[in-house]
Amino acid sequence: MNNVDKLFLKIKNSSPICVGLDTAYEYLPSFIKDKQLDLSEKIFLFNKGIIDSTKDEVACFKIQIAYYEAMGIEGLLAYSKTIKYIRENDGLVIGDIKRGDIAQTATMYAKAHFEGEFEVDFITLSPYMGMDSIEPYLPYVEKGKGLFVLVRTSNNGAKDFQFVSDDNNTLYEIVGDKINELGKKYIGECGYSCIGMVLGATHSFEALKLRKRWDDSFFLIPGYGAQGGKGEDIKNYLKSGEGGIVNSSRGILLAFKKENRNEMDFGKWAYEECINMKNDILGAFR
């Protein structure tokens, strides 16, 4: 099976939730900060607790590399170790790297994140340099890897460029049409392409139209929770709870910091947040 088929089955067996392991040092419970460990081990210890507590209730994990790059070599060691731990435990990992470059540079990015120490199952890409910035990744897609390409993001600044329109289409719709067309060459057994799209939950007013327009594209949907997205915002991006994954990062990672919660139980509170998120999203279909 290719990775989109594996992800589809994970959703069927658990939920459409993706846990974002965007782990900053300041997020760690104080008892982990106080341990006599290297920084990489502290970060990994926290990540492992989140993974172990939530893996049975979620479809995959997304790791934003910038959080780890900001911590230097120790951060990248934690990034690599976290990836390996998830994959060794039959989990799926999205490397949220948002690369966008052409020719040999993109070829090296593909090699860096689909092979070796940083190998993941999916990566995120920015297409706004053109379709030739996607092409170097396609040999890996042919072998089963997956892509999530930025089409319409959840930040306020998305309107600066992505929503610019001609008489018929916005820029993001033009980009989405091109990504959707390319993806038709890589349809899995589940009916979705290994080349998916990033569509932010916080701009949900056209969700039904976009779901129909890009029917065989799998969606990565950020913006739930801390950014304001709710289950009702998500509903129309999915097909009866399928066809996409919904990411939450801070809402899950920092659940233990809510009032009167014991930080030693950070994994328990992350699990509870996943259950609440699952009920909110799937409850919107009832």
Which pLDDT value is given to residue 157? 85
**Residue 281: its H or E element:** helix 266-283
Closest C-alpha to 175, from 167, 164, 186, 185: 164
- Judged by DSSP in three states, 117 sits in helix
Q: How confident is residue 233, by pLDDT bands cut at 50, 70 and 90?
A: confident
CA distance 257 to 251: 10
Mean pLDDT over residues 99-104, rounded? 93
Handedness of CA 257, 258, 259, 262 (dihedral sign): negative
In the numeric block, the tokens 């392409």 are attached to 193
More confident residue, 239 or 78: 78
CA distances from 32 to 25, 38, 265 (A): 10, 11, 12
The top-level CATH class assigned to 3-283 is alpha beta
Residue 129 has pLDDT above 70, yes or no: yes
Q: Other CB atoms closer than 10 Å to residue 280's CB: what's the count?
A: 16
- Please state which of the ranges 101-105, 151-155, 184-188 shows the lowest mean pLDDT: 151-155
Which pLDDT value is given to residue 155? 80
Phi-psi region of 279 (alpha: psi -120 to 50; beta: other; left: phi over 0): alpha
Mean pLDDT over residues 164-185, rounded? 92
Q: Which residues of 100-133 are buried (b: 16+ CB within 10 A; e: fewer)?
A: bbeeeebeebbebbbeeebbbbbbbbbbeeeeeb
Q: How confident is residue 49, by pLDDT bands cut at 50, 70 and 90?
A: very high
As beta bridge partners, residue 221 has 246
Which pLDDT value is given to residue 89? 96
Query: Helices 39-54 and 72-88 sit at what angle, rounded to 10 degrees?
Result: 30
Mean pLDDT over residues 88-99, rounded? 97
Q: Which of 98, 178, 230, 268 is catalytic?
A: 98
- Annotated active-site residue 35? The verdict is no
The residues near 166 (Cβ < 8 Å, ≥ 6 apart) are none
For the chain, the first-to-last Cα distance in angstroms comes to 31
Q: How confident is residue 226, by pLDDT bands cut at 50, 70 and 90?
A: low
